[in-house]
Structure 1
């Protein structure tokens, strides 16, 4: 997962960088590996700062002072397959045609054929192992086909429509054209979120400022109103003089990723008309019924409900209230350790669980404890948490998951590429409990999870639930595809890349090997841009 943001001030001489930085900090939960901002100055020049690290560390006062201009885009990155070379930090840039900067959240599934097209037909060089750079070059190639020295909105819509015909998978994107404006678009299934908002420009100016962001919380915190989701298959073009929107893709089932509501999104965001907070409350209510049924079947009782902070708190509180059980904060969180799920590398996740959480014996000793978590993915965190509870004296540890068992790979931008890494894959509930050390595990049912979200926007008739069902809404994902992807990822994970970073390459690199028989990384030289110096592009 990643977070994307675009900002356009009506005043071209404004300073957008500081507000973009603040917005990215609100999206930090979506990616903690790298971040970047590119702004566009009054003369159409781009200024860049991007690096590995958290937003607060990369964008100090000196860095922000070099980012000139009243419009820009930003990105927080979470690598979906282990690569964390700083050359792959976004946004990406191409100078042909027109000068384009691009940021992307999601994952493509047909990178092999796209890379062949780039090499053999479009003759455009892809310099990193990021499918975001590939998407940018597909967009740029389609713009170049217009053959125009100056383009208009119609040309951009045509180019994005062509991109949507070529690119399969999940993608929510923001782009900026030098001296023109900002653009956002979303894949035909709307798997990944992005929305837009506006506000009255500050000062005597009567115009409006515009924002694109992955989540509505950015608009709320920055004083933007009239939040609207970009529709599936829609492109939105914003200049200082106009806002133009159009559906440019062929009709496809609208299927947002339900895991956004379970885990990734902030509870104070609204995605596709659904309050994440309300949906998690509903998950807790539904899970309470399942917990009661399973406990009765096993003749068990619990003394206290304890959430795994932070994502499961809302659901756990509702569950406790519905079952009339005490709710306690038994795990104290160190807020200076990042989200373990999105940390690159299994060893890093395992090591940081105990750094991140501390169990209070007062709430566990001599009690049957019901621990509520948002989901159980690899089981690494769950196993450590259960052991911590037992170490401080819990009699029995029962785990309730707000999500059903995750048994299948995610190919749309979540780091679940290998089925063998998933604790629920090829295991029943009893085996899962034994593997993670729980006395009992209780999972939310899929119909209850879907109902918990859909009740707040009945117009959503389908969700991407592929991690639970193995059914991929875009098609094009079969056993052969998954097996090859997993094999290449395993090979890369066991290798050390030439730049000294252990771990696998991103999906573009994997697909390039599938398509072209390459061995080793793509032509990825180190990013030579000074990380805290402006990068000017004419």
Structure 2
């Protein structure tokens, strides 16, 4: 992606189902779970670079001994920093106890992070600040084990204000106004209630307080806690947690907006944001990794029993299509094929735009995430080329010769690596003042493969969101090759509406498609549309989120998608380049053909799966008109 859009969060939950001695005997170390945790987190490093954290929980520790450990980092390489810190803490205990440190029984009683239950997290902070306090896992501590709560997840709530007020109405005083703290305290409240309910029940039955603690741990209803706490959650979420006595869970929103997959065998339970990383880390087949169903929770009890429980009534599946286009790792079997299909479906319109003249067209991509779509696009173009070859051969009839046949067979689409990303240069682009000067050198080009003023360059990207890098860098760099025309292709449709479920796309004014539509309205004397939409948004500003309508759709209604694309091309074309510039976007229809099971398309259509989405787009438009430069939730 040429535009820098930050990723969603990622998580890992690991529960060892055997005693630690088992892993020492079979795998040579009690650190089996810790090693798998590191691998699973590294394989998901694409999902967040703002911070990383790990929490571990030891089962059945004696009173007076530490059973919860946590390590977090917001440094530049947070995963490495976290695990270096864990290794350092183990080394401190080691000292002269080299033999003992390898003994799983001794280590569990004396070594931090020698545990049966792990929760790891990779953070991109779409809400809150970059302080270490906001790095997951977060904890709510208590002297009763069953009241301890450790939480991490990939989530954004659109109605934090509503849940925050509910907590205040309960008499609480939350320490911060963020979705993380609000969710932690909200879930913690119902955990406390469940504990108190069971305490009263067992007290009435005549058990002692010491006996009651153990009985609560055995009978805590995780499903009920999640049902009650999540009733008001509006947003996309996968939330993972563990209670201090050993129960653990992962719960997913009822629309399936955010992803989660799991693998279970008799040794381990693994849950993570992405299926492919589980396949790799655990060396298991595609069929062995299951998707956590929308509205369900995977519950792992202290005794190791696992169940998938219905927590929220599943809604129409609206899983995030941007996961398929860009965010998830392309090594996933389905995602790889879907990205190729996105490229294939663009081929017909591109061939038409270059008038089927493959001799004067060079195809390439903007590294690196568009590479798979590029393969699909080129594959479809090759197929079209092969059809033309067959027709030409047929037309030769009896006049066929080896030379004529060779001339036909040798014709192939011209494929070159044109744009080369200078990774080292990116590290210097930090402050805003120098960014404009430096950004022009983020990419370099391959010289000598484009014929001056003859060839058309077709360059595919996975999405064009803001268009900043195109305007300030890429188009000018490509123009150094002196093509006659540059066609920039997006394998995603036009991004027209803000996201509020975990991706850093919260401001309408950032989107080149929105700016193009506004410009068209002004050029065509339709300022009243802009004003009317603002008025409608203001009128519903204080309505409950369930009653808010997305009137921002009216901004785009007067124009075809092609008109908006043409205006984007005009706006993003630098003044100092000679080549003609065109921009082609994927269609919504083709998106759904390529990704038939993941139809969360609110960025492109404005059809939000939750009521809070309409509230967010409403507020975002008001902010744009009023010049308020802040996110809308």
- TM-score, normalised to structure 1's length? 0.80
Count residues with an aligned counterpart: 476
Equivalence for 1:234: 296
CA contact (8 A) 2:508 2:621 kept: no
Distance in 2 of aligned mates of 1:117 and 1:218: 38
**Post-superposition offset of 1:164:** 2.6
Whether 1:318 aligns to 2:376 is: yes
Equivalence for 2:489: 400
Secondary structure of the corresponding residue to residue 345 of structure 2: helix
User: Structure 1 251/488 Cα, relative in aligned 2: closer, same or farther at 3 Å?
Assistant: same
- Residue of 182, 185, 188 corresponding to 1:134: 182
Distance in 1 of aligned mates of 2:437 and 2:149: 40
User: Larger deviation: 4-13 or 57-66?
Assistant: 57-66
Equivalence for 1:420: 509
Distance in 1 of aligned mates of 2:161 and 2:53: 27
**Post-superposition offset of 1:123:** 0.9
Equivalence for 1:385: 474
Which runs of 5 or more structure 2 residues have no equivalent in the other structure?
1-7, 21-29, 90-111, 199-212, 383-412, 517-563, 574-579
Distance in 2 of aligned mates of 1:210 and 1:118: 33
Whether 1:471 aligns to 2:622 is: no
- Residue of 340, 357, 360 corresponding to 2:446: 360
Distance in 1 of aligned mates of 2:501 and 2:427: 19
- Residue of 5, 10, 26 corresponding to 1:3: 10
CA contact (8 A) 1:280 1:314 kept: yes
CA contact (8 A) 1:405 1:468 kept: yes
User: Larger deviation: 177-186 or 10-19?
Assistant: 10-19
Equivalence for 1:180: 246
Equivalence for 2:123: 77
Whether 1:370 aligns to 2:458 is: yes
Equivalence for 1:18: 35
- Residue of 89, 101, 106 corresponding to 2:135: 89
Task: Write the deviation string for residues 28-55 of structure 1: whole angstroms up to 9, x where unpaired.
Answer: 1111111111112343622111121334
User: Structure 1 138/431 Cα, relative in aligned 2: closer, same or farther at 3 Å?
Assistant: same
**Which structure: greater strand fraction?**
1
- Residue of 320, 343, 364 corresponding to 1:257: 320
- Residue of 144, 156, 161 corresponding to 1:112: 161
CA contact (8 A) 1:268 1:277 kept: yes
Distance in 2 of aligned mates of 1:75 and 1:252: 27
Task: Write the deviation string for residues 47-95 of structure 1: whole angstroms up to 9, x where unpaired.
Answer: 1111213345423534344351232111111122583223211111111
Secondary structure of the corresponding residue to residue 166 of structure 1: coil
User: Structure 1 410/351 Cα, relative in aligned 2: closer, same or farther at 3 Å?
Assistant: farther
Distance in 2 of aligned mates of 1:81 and 1:136: 14
Which runs of 5 or more structure 1 residues have no equivalent in the other structure?
200-206, 455-459, 494-503, 512-538
Equivalence for 1:305: 363
- TM-score, normalised to structure 2's length? 0.69
CA contact (8 A) 2:425 2:441 kept: yes
Distance in 1 of aligned mates of 2:304 and 2:160: 36
Whether 1:193 aligns to 2:335 is: no
**Post-superposition offset of 1:133:** 2.6
**CA-based RMSD:** 3.1
Secondary structure of the corresponding residue to residue 458 of structure 2: strand
**After superposition, where does 1:494-513 map in structure 2 within 5 Å?**
none
- Residue of 49, 61, 72 corresponding to 1:50: 72
Distance in 2 of aligned mates of 1:25 and 1:489: 42
**Post-superposition offset of 1:3:** 0.7
